[in-house]
């Protein structure tokens, strides 16, 4: 479920300045007081790379982080719509369940790791291991992704508008990857497949929601060849 909240009136906005306050104070509000507070929008000032900003939110709320976040921002998110007006560290939106996390800058490693649902948009580049072990999340990256992205990705879609690094989709399960730029190399059992009408429509929808104006027809589809699903006793250490 995505929440779209446009109510920005001061009465329903709560601001947390992490310069004097703590991440714990912010997260305790989000976890325990938010639901009954009537607050529809939370603004986080001076994040200064702090870890675990707005993790574990379980309520529809719009959260704006004004600056660069640290590790695990928006982790385990359910229902909330979080926008980071800056870059983020490792593990943004890790294990996200639903809702949306948008990063205006770049994301460090393991963005969207193990995510089950929702949409993660990274407008800049994502570093190595983007979408590692993703389990149903949709990830749209405006730039490129680093090596080992979508390693053992189980379900969901990863859309990369730029280039992909080495070993893309290594040991892929049922997640599907779409890459507009150059793929440096595919990982074991990942293969390029033709784009079907459903792929075009799906990528088009994700790009529209991400606010990125690319032609879905420019993307390549990468999916699992499913050769690693069963043990092959004759493989002779080939993998």
Partner 1 sequence: MCGIVGLLIKNPALRPRLGELMTPILDEMAARGPESAGLAVFTDQLSGVQRKYSIHAPIWGYDWSGFEARFIERFGTEAQLAVTGNHAVLVCDEAPAAVKKWTQEHFGQLHVLSAGRVIDVYKDIGHPSEIALRYDFRKLSGTHVVGHTRMATESAVTPDRAHPFTAGEDFCLVHNGTISNPYMIRRKLEHRGIVFETDNDTEAATRFLEWRMREGDSLEDALRQGFRELDGFYTFLIGTDTELALVRDAFACKPAIVAETDDYVAIASEFRGLAHLPGVNNAHLFEPMPEELYVWKV
Query: Could you tell me which stretch among 9-17, 45-53, 178-186, 223-231 binds partner 1 (CB under 8 A)?
Result: 45-53
Site for partner 1 in 71-90 (CB under 8 A): 71, 87, 89-90
* Residue 70 binds to partner 1 (criterion: CB under 8 A): yes
8 Å CB contact between 156 and 133: no
8 Å CB contact between 130 and 111: yes
* Residue 50 binds to partner 1 (criterion: CB under 8 A): yes
Closest distance of CB 3 from partner 1, Å: 28
* Residue 147 binds to partner 1 (criterion: CB under 8 A): yes
Q: Which of 62, 64, 94, 109 binds partner 1 (CB under 8 A)?
A: 109
Closest distance of CB 168 from partner 1, Å: 15
> Cα–Cα distance between 91 and 114 in angstroms, integer?
9
Cβ-proximal residues to 137 (8 Å cutoff; 6+ apart), any chain: 93, 96, 112, 115, 116, 117, 118, 119, 120, 131, 156
Choice between 49 and 204, CB closer to partner 1 = 49
8 Å CB contact between 173 and 217: no
> Cα–Cα distance between 203 and 165 in angstroms, integer?
20
Size of the site for partner 1 (CB under 8 A): 18
Q: Which of 51, 59, 104, 116 binds partner 1 (CB under 8 A)?
A: 51
> Cα–Cα distance between 201 and 235 in angstroms, integer?
38
Binding site for partner 1 (CB under 8 A): 48-51, 67-68, 70-71, 87, 89-90, 106, 108-109, 127-128, 146-147
């Amino acid at each position: 479920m995505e929440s779209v909240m446009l109510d920005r009136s001061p009465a329903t906005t709560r601001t947390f300045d992490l310069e004097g306050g703590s991440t714990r104070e912010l997260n305790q509000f989000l976890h325990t007081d938010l639901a009954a507070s009537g607050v529809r929008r939370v603004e986080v000032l001076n994040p200064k790379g702090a870890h675990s900003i707005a993790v574990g939110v379980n309520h529809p709320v719009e959260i704006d982080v004004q600056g660069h976040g640290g590790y695990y921002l928006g982790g385990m998110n359910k229902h909330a719509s979080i926008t980071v007006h800056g870059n983020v560290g490792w593990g943004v939106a890790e294990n996200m369940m639903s809702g949306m996390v948008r990063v205006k800058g770049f994301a460090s490693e393991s963005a969207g790791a193990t995510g089950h649902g929702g949409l993660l948009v990274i407008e800049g580049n994502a570093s190595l291991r983007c979408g590692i072990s993703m389990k149903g999340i949709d990830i749209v990256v405006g730039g490129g992704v680093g090596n080992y992205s979508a390693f053992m990705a189980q379900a969901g879609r990863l859309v990369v508008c730029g280039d992909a690094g080495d070993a893309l989709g290594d040991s892929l399960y049922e997640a599907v990857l779409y890459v507009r730029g150059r793929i440096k190399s595919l990982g074991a059992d990942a293969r390029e497949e033709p784009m079907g009408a459903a792929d075009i429509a799906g990528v088009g929808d994700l790009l529209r929601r991400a606010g990125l104006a690319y032609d879905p027809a420019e993307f390549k589809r990468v999916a699992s060849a499913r050769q690693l699903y069963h043990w092959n006793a004759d493989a002779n250490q080939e993998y």
